[in-house]
A = this chain, B = another copy of it.
Amino acid sequence: MSRQDSGTRRATISDVAREAGVSPSTASVVFSGKTPVSEATRRRVLDAAAELGYTGPDPRAASLRRGRSGIVGVVFEEHLRTAFLDPVKTLMMDGLADAVTPLGAGLLLLRDHEPTGSGPSLTTAPLDAAVLIGCSGLLRESLATVKARGVPVVVIEGDAGDDVPRIGLDNREAQRQAASHLRALGHRRVVVVSLPARSDWERGWLRDDTAVAVDVTRDRLAGALDVFPDAATYAAAGSFIDEGLAAGREIFADPDRRPTAVIAQSDLLAAGVIRAAEEAGLRVPEDVSVTGFDGIVVDGLAPYELTTLVQPATDKGRAAGAAVAAMLEGEPAATIFFTCTFREGNTTGPVPAAD
């Protein structure tokens, strides 16, 4: 039987080889299966391994030699907790995991900007490839790091230059579609509730459109402004119902300046805005229309059904995984843009007559 030998050094493949009376190379081959081995030798090695309590090659050593660690880093620009809370990210992760597993790779969760300074960073983690999610300025910094290290990288939702494959969305187009829908319904006084404008953003009115450093925010905003050039924008501090609520309260505070429609850049924000509208005694969509973005299921929003843009989140993750796979094979990975589908719910309606 195997002995624990907890005091002693772990057995190495050389130990096993010696015990089995073969060379280390042969022993290695028994485990990797890269070369045919006679059944007898195989047995001897396996038995020796069992005897010594050897459980297979040390991944660290193996990855050094092979130059592959089987680890794909997923870089978030925010705290992991908030990433998990975002249904879109969750779906993307899922798609990504799907696509990456067959490669024999695992997903390592990484933060863009480690607060402690001691965390595992892009520089210290043994990555085969990296997937950057989001688009803050910090991300651009990470990108430089990763590229310098020569690690293949894919960016989801963010512009990283032409040499980096990118998984994107037709944000501007899609948002314009929703805005046009509102315009067709007669709306003219519209406010946009946007995602954060910068990574360190505190919620508030956006004075200067050019201050938007986050790609998604900028693109969606551009789409809205294409249709409503004069729309004011209130930028939230994150994609949460609570943030939408806070934004909505501010927006609906002054009865004289109330918009007849609100374009929210995410479904969660939209849900919060709707809640704020209810608080303010406004009916949706009779008094105010609200559009979202993402097409996720927002629990607790019933009986409302958001008018929103449905994005293929899981597919985005899967595509990123495929891109990683390609790059790992040495093939170039293409940039892919997905398109959103406009879905009309019951949160938008004709502009109120009283307007």
Closest to A144 in B: B55
CB-based contact A106/B104 at 8 Å: no
| Cα A61 to Cα B126 with chains together (Å) | 9
B-binding segment of A90-98, A188-196, A232-240, A253-261: A90-98
Query: At the interface, yes or no: A108 with Cβ under 8 Å from chain B?
Result: yes
In the complex, what's the smallest C-beta–C-beta distance from A68 to chain B, in angstroms? 9
CB-based contact B116/A101 at 8 Å: yes
B-binding segment of A207-215, A223-231, A298-306: A298-306
With a cutoff of 8 Å between Cβ atoms, the chain B residues found around residue A21 in the complex are none
| Cα A84 to Cα B8 with chains together (Å) | 40
With a cutoff of 8 Å between Cβ atoms, the chain B residues found around residue A70 in the complex are 120, 124-125
In the complex, what's the smallest C-beta–C-beta distance from A303 to chain B, in angstroms? 11
Query: At the interface, yes or no: A22 with Cβ under 8 Å from chain B?
Result: no
**Contact A126:B69 (CB < 8 A) given known A81-B94, A107-B108:** yes
CB-based contact B119/A101 at 8 Å: yes
Query: At the interface, yes or no: A109 with Cβ under 8 Å from chain B?
Result: yes
Binary interface profile of A, 94-129, with partner B (CB < 8 Å = 1, else 0)? 100100011111111111001010111001111100
CB-based contact B299/A148 at 8 Å: no
In the complex, what's the smallest C-beta–C-beta distance from A320 to chain B, in angstroms? 15
Number of interface residues of A (CB under 8 A): 55
Query: At the interface, yes or no: A150 with Cβ under 8 Å from chain B?
Result: yes
| Cα A300 to Cα B105 with chains together (Å) | 37
| Cα A302 to Cα B300 with chains together (Å) | 7
Partner of A97 from the list B61, B80, B150 (CB cut-off 8 Å) is B80
Query: At the interface, yes or no: A222 with Cβ under 8 Å from chain B?
Result: no
Binary interface profile of A, 145-156, with partner B (CB < 8 Å = 1, else 0)? 100111000000
Binary interface profile of A, 44-75, with partner B (CB < 8 Å = 1, else 0)? 00000000010110111111100101110100
With a cutoff of 8 Å between Cβ atoms, the chain B residues found around residue A114 in the complex are 101
Partner of A102 from the list B69, B119, B127 (CB cut-off 8 Å) is B119
CB-based contact A124/B104 at 8 Å: yes
Partner of A109 from the list B106, B120, B298 (CB cut-off 8 Å) is B106
- The contact sample of 29 A-B pairs, CB cut-off 8 A, is A2-B148, A55-B123, A55-B145, A55-B149, A56-B123, A56-B124, A56-B149, A58-B64, A59-B69, A60-B60, A60-B63, A60-B67, A60-B69, A69-B126, A71-B71, A71-B126, A73-B106, A80-B93, A81-B97, A84-B84, A101-B114, A101-B119, A102-B119, A104-B118, A104-B119, A104-B120, A106-B110, A107-B108, A300-B300
Additional 13 contacts, C-beta under 8 A, given A59-B69, A101-B114? A55-B145, A59-B126, A60-B64, A62-B124, A70-B125, A71-B108, A71-B120, A71-B125, A84-B94, A104-B119, A104-B120, A106-B125, A108-B109
